[in-house]
Amino acid sequence: MIATMEQGQNVDTVTPGSIVASLEAVNKNYGNVRALRGVDFRVRAGQIVALLGPNGAGKTTAVKLLLGLMPPNTGRVRVFGGDPTNPENRMRTGAMLQVGRVPETLRVREHIDLFSTYYPKPMSSTKILAAAGLEKLSDRKFGELSGGQKQRVLFALAICGDPDLLLLDEPTLGLDVEARRLLWDEIRHLVGRGKTVLLTTHYLQEADALADRVAVINQGEIIAQGTPAEIKAQTSGKRIRCITSLSTPSLRQIPGVTEVKEDREAVEIHAREAEPVVRELLARDAKLSGLEITSAGLEEAFLALTQDSAKNGNHSN
Amino acid sequence: MSAATMTLNNAGIERSSRHTATIYLKEAKYEFLKNLRLRMYTASVLSFPIMFYVLFGLVLNSKEAIGGTGVPTYLIATYGTFGVMGASLFGTAAGLASDRGLGWLQVKRASPMPPFAYFAAKVITSMVFSAIIVLALFTLGITLGGVRMPFADFARLLGTLVAGSLPFSAMGLALGYFTGPNSAPPAINLIYLPMSFCSGLWVPFLFLPKVVRQIALVLPPYHLSQLALGVVGAGAHQSNATHWEVLGAFTMICLGVARIGFQRDQGKLYG
């Protein structure tokens, strides 16, 4: 009891909704480069949170701060209510980082054995191998593995301690479609057991498919936060796709059209509302075919948000 | 307090000391295995001192003496020093530079691994390789070179040389913090080969030019080799205490430099 009070730790963090990890007004610079600017970001228990942004946005920096690998210049980083460098917090956290080289002469099971030893209550090696899809590879030396297999070993090292919080930096980079789906399933399974996952990604589809909450980051600032649906709603709009003989310039002049793109034999028209534009199209081109109307996806929302923030960013610099 | 909170409290308790000991042992075990299986490392670190010893101590000059000590015995001390230095430098510096530069050390630091276990494992591995080299030289010397000494002297020589791996492990840690994965091995060679020559590890100290002999007095390998030679009865001038003091001071300086590198790493890495 006394130990808990001295550390000031918020022990009761398994309650869904409580804050498991946070960046509070964090600035982080590398020399002249402002990698994170005034970032406020919270991860709540039991959720999958995706930090979505292009390369160089500051995602990896955010993860490294949460892991206590370096201190922020200003602001505060908190994990389980305490300092991320605290070994007790590290014992409840698992990390997957982008690594240039892992010792190649050690076998998969040896890597897992060593990392499991760091934790007070690791999972059994059978479970770890199964969760990472490595059952047949446990005796292989790391250097003999393919790129995707190496990623899975890094994932195994992140989960081996049965941590309450998982921080994954671009976990599906280099994985083929099937391996990616398997990893997504495993992440969902972990969250189903009460874990919390923060992953960074630049795959929009991944954030959309996996996350309960998405934070969009660009040039060191969080420019949007919310559920995938809320982010999409921030750029309302529809996508109208059709094959038409109408010229692109004339399409642009239809009222309500915000953007026209050519895609091989078809055109893709972006508009606030679909119906007036479609009425106009059908009136002008009776031979129009291949008509598809969809909501603007996360990709459009993301591009719109990052273009906006880039424009605004030029002012604040 | 609910049962859930009680379980959390138990998860927050620090590791027992037995658990910590297990971590240190496993870290050292896997560091050793990792290096052992690295054929380039094992081959070069073991074979150079052995090859030189066989060539200069057993094939040539085996019946000669240097200042009263038989060449095969004399060269165990000097090539033993050379071998220990190489094993410690390459074992620590190259691995550390690579782990730092390529992100592996960050993965380990993000985990609950006690940072000291990482360094201790490297130092222990260097000591084990050092012991292997020295024992190999002993075996060759006894079987092929007619080296005869009391068992206690063999034990003291082994102990001296293995203890002497510590200053060079410290030096390796300092180097590892200030070189990159590709520049570490050449940097090590650039430093340790001239150092070895000037310390009398190849051409025996007595035969070095006077200028070089002055330089040797500030070189750690000179002091270690003098300690080793002292065990076999061929040491020269100063008391053992002086030699240990120089090595100790050198170790402290290197650890200080390594510590600066360690703290610098925390703010530096871009990602």
Q: Tell whether B65 lies on the interface with A, counting CB pairs under 8 A.
A: no
**Which residues, at least 6 apart from A73, have a Cβ–Cβ distance to it below 8 Å?**
A27, A28, A29
Strands (E), chain B: 65-66, 69-70
Distance from C-alpha of B231 to C-alpha of A102, rounded to nearest angstrom: 42
Candidates A205, A156, A147, A201; CA nearest to A174 is A147
Residue B262 CB neighbours (<10 A): 15
Domain with CATH 3.30.70 in chain A: 237-295
- Token representation of residue A299: 């990709």
pLDDT at position A231:
80
Helix/strand/coil percent split, chain A, to 5: 40, 30, 35
Distance of residue A120 Cα from the nearest chain B Cα, in angstroms: 7
Candidates A76, A153, A69, A75; CA nearest to A107 is A153
Which residue does chain B place closest to A90, by CA atoms? B112
Q: Tell whether B40 lies on the interface with A, counting CB pairs under 8 A.
A: no
Best residue in A15, A67, A105, A166 for a mutation probing chain B (most B CBs within 10 Å): A105
**Cβ distance of B22 and A88 shorter than 8 Å:** no
Candidates A256, A240, A249, A237; CA nearest to A290 is A240
What ipTM, to 2 d.p.? 0.86
**Cβ distance of B9 and A4 shorter than 8 Å:** yes
Backbone angles phi, psi at A22, to 5 degrees: -155, 150
Domain with CATH 3.40.50.300 in chain A: 2-227
pLDDT at position A259:
83
Question: How many Cα atoms occupy the beta-carbon half-sphere of A265 within 13 Å?
Answer: 5
CA A150 distance to own-chain centroid: 20
CB A257 within 8 A of CB A269: yes
Which residue does chain A place closest to B9, by CA atoms? A11
Q: Which residues of A touch B5 (CB under 8 A)?
A: 11-12
Q: Tell whether B269 lies on the interface with A, counting CB pairs under 8 A.
A: yes
**Cβ distance of A110 and B271 shorter than 8 Å:** no
How many CB pairs lie under 8 A apart between chains A and B?
Answer: 114
CB nearest to A61's CB, from B26, B30, B271? B271
Q: Which residues of B touch A13 (CB under 8 A)?
A: 8
**Which residues, at least 6 apart from A70, have a Cβ–Cβ distance to it below 8 Å?**
A28, A64, B266, B267, B268, B269
Q: A147-159 and A177-192 helices cross at what angle (nearest 10)?
A: 10
Which residue does chain B place closest to A62, by CA atoms? B271
A237-295 folds as: Alpha-Beta Plaits (3.30.70)
Distance from C-alpha of B266 to C-alpha of B96, rounded to nearest angstrom: 15
**Cβ distance of B107 and A99 shorter than 8 Å:** yes
User: Exposure string (b/e) for A134-154, b if CB count within 10 Å is 16 or more?
Assistant: beebbeebbeebeebbbbbbb
Per-residue pLDDT of chain A (317 residues; tens, 9 = 90+): 444 443 444 444 467 779 999 999 999 998 889 999 999 999 999 999 999 988 888 999 999 999 999 999 999 999 999 999 999 999 999 999 999 999 999 999 999 999 999 999 999 999 999 999 999 999 999 999 999 999 999 999 999 999 999 999 999 988 889 889 999 999 999 999 999 999 999 888 888 899 999 999 989 999 889 998 888 776 667 889 999 998 888 888 888 888 888 888 899 988 878 889 999 999 999 999 999 998 766 666 777 777 766 666 544 43
Which residue does chain A place closest to B3, by CA atoms? A12
Kindly report each contact of residues B252-259 with a partner whose C-beta sits within 8 Å and lies 24 or more positions away, as own/partner.
B254/B167, B254/B170, B254/B171, B254/B173, B254/B174, B255/B170, B255/B173, B255/B174, B257/B174, B257/B177, B257/B178, B258/B170, B258/B173, B258/B174, B258/B176, B258/B177
Q: Which residues of A touch B269 (CB under 8 A)?
A: 64, 69-70
pLDDT at position B168:
96
The residue ranking higher by pLDDT, A233 or B206, is: B206
Distance of residue B257 Cα from the nearest chain A Cα, in angstroms: 20
Distance of residue A15 Cα from the nearest chain B Cα, in angstroms: 9
Helices (H), chain A: 2-7, 59-66, 87-90, 108-118, 125-131, 147-159, 177-192, 204-210, 228-234, 248-252, 274-284, 298-316
Candidates A161, A135, A102, A132; CA nearest to B34 is A102
pLDDT at position B268:
55
Residue A198 CB neighbours (<10 A): 24
Strands A213-218 and A221-226 come out as antiparallel
In the block, which residue shows the tokens 């859930």? B4
What would the pLDDT profile of B169-205 be if each residue is shown by its tens digit?
Answer: 999 999 999 999 999 999 999 999 999 999 989 888 8
Which residue does chain B place closest to A86, by CA atoms? B112
Q: Tell whether B30 lies on the interface with A, counting CB pairs under 8 A.
A: yes
Distance from C-alpha of A288 to C-alpha of A282, rounded to nearest angstrom: 7
- Token representation of residue B261: 């590198």
Distance from C-alpha of A62 to C-alpha of A65, rounded to nearest angstrom: 5
**Cβ distance of A118 and B113 shorter than 8 Å:** yes
**What is the reported pTM?**
0.83
Distance of residue B137 Cα from the nearest chain A Cα, in angstroms: 27
Best residue in A10, A32, A67, A114 for a mutation probing chain B (most B CBs within 10 Å): A114
Candidates B269, B267, B86; CA nearest to B180 is B269
Distance from C-alpha of A244 to C-alpha of A288, rounded to nearest angstrom: 5
Q: Which residues of B touch A95 (CB under 8 A)?
A: 107, 110-111
pLDDT at position B142:
92
CA A300 distance to own-chain centroid: 17
A40 DSSP assignment: E
Which residue does chain A place closest to B26, by CA atoms? A114
Distance from C-alpha of B189 to C-alpha of A220, rounded to nearest angstrom: 42
Candidates A128, A198, A206; CA nearest to A160 is A128
User: Three-class SS of residue B183?
Assistant: coil
Q: Which residues of A touch B106 (CB under 8 A)?
A: 64, 69, 97, 99
Q: Tell whether B114 lies on the interface with A, counting CB pairs under 8 A.
A: yes
Q: Looking at domain A2-227, what is its CATH homologous superfamily? A: P-loop containing nucleotide triphosphate hydrolases (3.40.50.300)
Helix/strand/coil percent split, chain B, to 5: 80, 0, 20
